Structure 1
Amino acid sequence: MLSKTEICHALIRLNLMDASENPGLSELNGGISSEIYKVDLDGRSFCVKSALPTLKSDPDWHVPVERTAAEWEWLKFAQNVAKNIAPDPLGYDKQTNTLVMSYLEPELYPNWRDLLSQGIIDPNMAEAAAERLVMLHNATAGDEKLIQRFSNDRIFYDIRLEAYFLETGRNVEVLNDLMHELVESTAASKVALVHGDVSPKNILIGPNGPVFLDAECACYGEPAFDAAFCLTHFLLKCLWKPNWKKGYLKCHERFRKTYFSNAKWLDMTELERRVTQLHLGMLVARVAGRSKVEYISDKVTQELVKTFATRHLISHVATTGEVATLWDEILDAD
C-alpha cells in the first residue's frame, strides 16, 4: 500500500504540490487491480492510482505492475485523439509507479454500470461509447509507430488472453482447441491501439459524453477485442437484471451498429466475424475463465451461459446481431 508520505513525495516530484502543503487523502474503490486515492489540495483535487502486483480477488494471481505506465501512455495518447475521452493525465512517477490524473466528481460523471444496474438505460449512451471507441481505433489503425510505444503484449496476454481464453479451454475441454486458436489469432493481430477493459464499470457518463477509465491492459493489437468486451457485458446484464433485458439488448444493438458502420480499417464482414468469435469466447470466459463476473455466481446460470456460448462458437455464428437474437430467444425459453 502507498503511504501518504510516498504519495506526497510523488506529487512534489511531479510539481503538482509544494512541500509545505498538507493534502487530504481518501481511498477510492479501485476494483480488484489497483489502489486509488483522491488527493484534495486548496482548490483542486487529483486522482492517484498505482497497480497492485496481485489482484485483491485472487492473491495467487500475479500481474505485471507495468500496467500503470501502460495506462499513462494510453491516457496521453487518447487525449490527443479526442478531448474529454478520458481523465486528464497529469503525471507519472516512476519511483512509486504512480499515475496522477484529474479527479472527476461522481455527481457530474456517474458510473455507467451503476446507471445500468438501476434501470437507467439510455441506448444513446451505448451509441456514444461506440462512437468514441471506434474513433480511437480508426485514429490508430495501421500506425506502426505505436507498436513500440504500446509494446505491452505480456500484460495483455497474462491478464486477458491467458486468464480469459486459455483458462476457459482448460475448464471446458471441448473448447480447448478453439480457445487456443482464438488466442493465437488475437495475439498475432497488430491493427490498432486497444484499451483492453472497455466495460460499463470503466466508463463514466460525463456532460460531454462517455469518459473511458482503466486502460491498464492497453496495447497495440486487435481492436475487435474492445468491441467484443463491451458487447459481452450487455448480454450478461440480461441475467443480472432480467426485468431490463430489452434495454440491455437495445444497448447491444446500438453499440454494434454504430461501431461497425464507422470502422474504417477492415472489411465489415471480416471485422464482424472477428468481433463475434471474441464475443462468444468472452461470454463463456466470464463464467468459466479466471476472471468471472461476480453477479453470475449460481451454477445453473453459469451452465446456461457456457452451453450457449459453446454451441455457437462451435457452429461459427457469423454476426453479433445473430448472437443477440439467439440470446434473447434462449432467455425467453428459460
Structure 2
Amino acid sequence: MYSPTKKCHAESATKDQSGPHRRIDCACTMSEIFAQATLEKLLGKRRFTTELLSGGVSCDTAKVTWPPDGGAVVKRALAQLRVPGRWEADVDRILAEADAIELFSRITPMNVPAMLARNDQELAIAIELAAADMQDWRFSMLSGTVEPEVGYTLGGILAQWHTKTREMSATELPQRIINGKKRLYDLRAGAFYGGMAQTWPEYGSLIHELSDELMQSRECIVHGDFSPKNILHGPSGTWVLDFEVTHQGAPVFDLAYMSAHLNLKAIALHSQRDLVSQTLANFLNAYQHHGGMIPKNLPMHAGVITAVRVAGISQVNYLDEAGKASALSRSRQLLEGASVLIP
C-alpha cells in the first residue's frame, strides 16, 4: 500500500527532524508523486508512507518510511531544474550520484550516507536517513549557530577525497564519474561560468579561462557542490550530501565553492562574521594539513561562484539589497586576486 503526503520539509530528511534548523520550503513543487512501482523496485514490497521533500532545484526527493521502523531518502533527478529560466541536465546524473556515494564511502565511510538501493532503469536511488540530531549546516549558520570546528572537519574530508582519488587508476574509478564533463558543463561551467562571462563581459576573458581549466583538468575526483547546504552536522557526526555534479576534474572548484559560500555567509551574518571567517580559515588549513594544496587561482574561481549566487542563474535567498551589493563588490575583489579569506 502507498500512502503519500505532500509536505515540503527538510531538504535532507533525518529520522525525526524538528526544531528551528528544520528546512521549511513550501515553494517546492514535485513533478509527480513517487510511484509505488518505483519504490517497490528500490526497496521491495512494503507498506510505504512518503513525505515529499524539498530536493533543491535538481531532484524529486522523498522521505519514505515503512513498518516497523524502516526508512530511506529516495531521490530521482529532474530534466528541467527548478529555476525561473531554462536549465536542463541529463537525468543520469542521479546514477553518477550513486557511483560517487559508493566511491567516497570507501574513503570516508563515516561522512557519507549509506547507499541502501539503486535502480538504474528507474533513475532512482535510496540512501540512509540521517540521525535526528544532524542538522542542515546552512540553516544552522543562518539561524546564528556558527561552529568553526566544522570547517576543519570538512577540510579534512575534502583533502582525503582529492588525494586518494588522485592516486587511483582509471579502472578503480566509476566510468560515469570519469566521463562527467557534460554534467559539469550543464550544471556549472556553462550555467555558472558561461552565464557570468556574459553578465560581466569585462571579466569575460578571465572567466572563460577559468571555465576551460574546469573542463580540461582530470586531476582528481571533485564533488562539484561542496557547500553548506549539502552538509549535515550534529553530535552524531558530519555528512556530505548531493553528489550529482561529481566528476574527474580540478580540485580548485570544491575549494572555491565552499569559500564562496562562506564569504556570502559572512556578509549575511554580521554578528558572527569573525566565526565564519575562522570557519573558512579552518577549512583551508585542514585541507592543507591532510595533504591538499591550495591553487593560486582559488580567489578567482571563488569570485565567479560568489557572483553567480547573487547575479547569475542560481541566486541565494538570504541577502538583502545591501548584502547583495556587498557580495558583488566582494566578487570583483576576488576576481581581481584578493585573498579568499574573509577580511
What interval of TM-score do these two structures reach, taking the shorter chain for normalisation? 0.7 to 0.9
Q: In the TM superposition, what is the alpha-carbon distance from 1:59 to its structure 2 partner? A: 5.1
* Counterpart for residue 243 of structure 1: 271
Q: In the TM superposition, what is the alpha-carbon distance from 1:115 to its structure 2 partner? A: 1.1
Q: In the TM superposition, what is the alpha-carbon distance from 1:28 to its structure 2 partner? A: 1.4
Partners of 2:248 and 2:325 in 1: CA distance:
34
Question: Aligned AA for 1:3?
Answer: I
Could you tell me whether the CA contact under 8 Å between 1:172 and 1:288 is conserved in 2? no
Output one character per residue of 1:69-101: Cα deviation in whole Å (capped at 9) or x when no partner.
110100111111121211111122123211111
* Counterpart for residue 328 of structure 2: 306
Distance change in 2, residues 1:78/1:147 (3 Å): closer
Secondary structure of 2:226's partner? coil
Runs of 4+ with >6 A deviation: none
Question: Aligned AA for 1:284?
Answer: A
**1:171 equivalent in alignment to 2:199:** yes
Partners of 1:206 and 1:13 in 2: CA distance:
32
Moved more, 96-105 or 228-237: 96-105
Secondary structure of 1:49's partner? strand
Could you tell me whether the CA contact under 8 Å between 2:300 and 2:334 is conserved in 1? no
Alignment of 1:52-67 (within 5 A): 52-58=78-84, 60-67=86-93
Distance change in 2, residues 1:211/1:55 (3 Å): same
- TM-score, normalization by structure 2: 0.84
Partners of 2:126 and 2:203 in 1: CA distance:
41
Partners of 2:340 and 2:143 in 1: CA distance:
25
Partners of 2:282 and 2:193 in 1: CA distance:
27
Distance change in 2, residues 1:312/1:123 (3 Å): closer
Output one character per residue of 1:97-151: Cα deviation in whole Å (capped at 9) or x when no partner.
111111124x221111121112111111110111111111111014341373411
Partners of 1:31 and 1:136 in 2: CA distance:
24
Q: In the TM superposition, what is the alpha-carbon distance from 1:309 to its structure 2 partner? A: 2.6
* Counterpart for residue 39 of structure 1: 64
**1:131 equivalent in alignment to 2:161:** no
Partners of 1:246 and 1:304 in 2: CA distance:
17
Structure 2 residue runs of 5 or longer lacking an equivalent are 1-30
* Counterpart for residue 260 of structure 2: 232
Could you tell me whether the CA contact under 8 Å between 1:166 and 1:180 is conserved in 2? yes
Partners of 1:59 and 1:22 in 2: CA distance:
38
* Counterpart for residue 119 of structure 1: 144
Could you tell me whether the CA contact under 8 Å between 1:283 and 1:305 is conserved in 2? yes
Question: Aligned AA for 1:86?
Answer: V
Distance change in 2, residues 1:45/1:134 (3 Å): same
* Counterpart for residue 293 of structure 1: 316
Partners of 1:308 and 1:56 in 2: CA distance:
27
* Counterpart for residue 331 of structure 1: none
* Counterpart for residue 222 of structure 1: 250
Partners of 2:104 and 2:311 in 1: CA distance:
32
Partners of 2:262 and 2:163 in 1: CA distance:
23
Secondary structure of 1:272's partner? coil
Could you tell me whether the CA contact under 8 Å between 1:48 and 1:101 is conserved in 2? yes
* Counterpart for residue 226 of structure 2: 198
Q: In the TM superposition, what is the alpha-carbon distance from 1:279 to its structure 2 partner? A: 1.6
Alignment equivalent of 1:24, drawn from 49, 68, 71? 49
Secondary structure of 2:340's partner? helix
Distance change in 2, residues 1:142/1:189 (3 Å): farther
Structure 1 residue runs of 5 or longer lacking an equivalent are 329-334
Question: Aligned AA for 2:122?
Answer: T
Question: Aligned AA for 1:306?
Answer: L
Partners of 1:204 and 1:307 in 2: CA distance:
30
Partners of 1:242 and 1:3 in 2: CA distance:
41
Q: In the TM superposition, what is the alpha-carbon distance from 1:303 to its structure 2 partner? A: 3.6
Aligned length: 309
Could you tell me whether the CA contact under 8 Å between 2:256 and 2:305 is conserved in 1? yes
Question: Aligned AA for 1:223?
Answer: P
Q: In the TM superposition, what is the alpha-carbon distance from 1:260 to its structure 2 partner? A: 2.2
Partners of 1:92 and 1:178 in 2: CA distance:
40
Identity among equivalent pairs (%): 25
Moved more, 170-179 or 137-146: 137-146
Greater helix content = 1
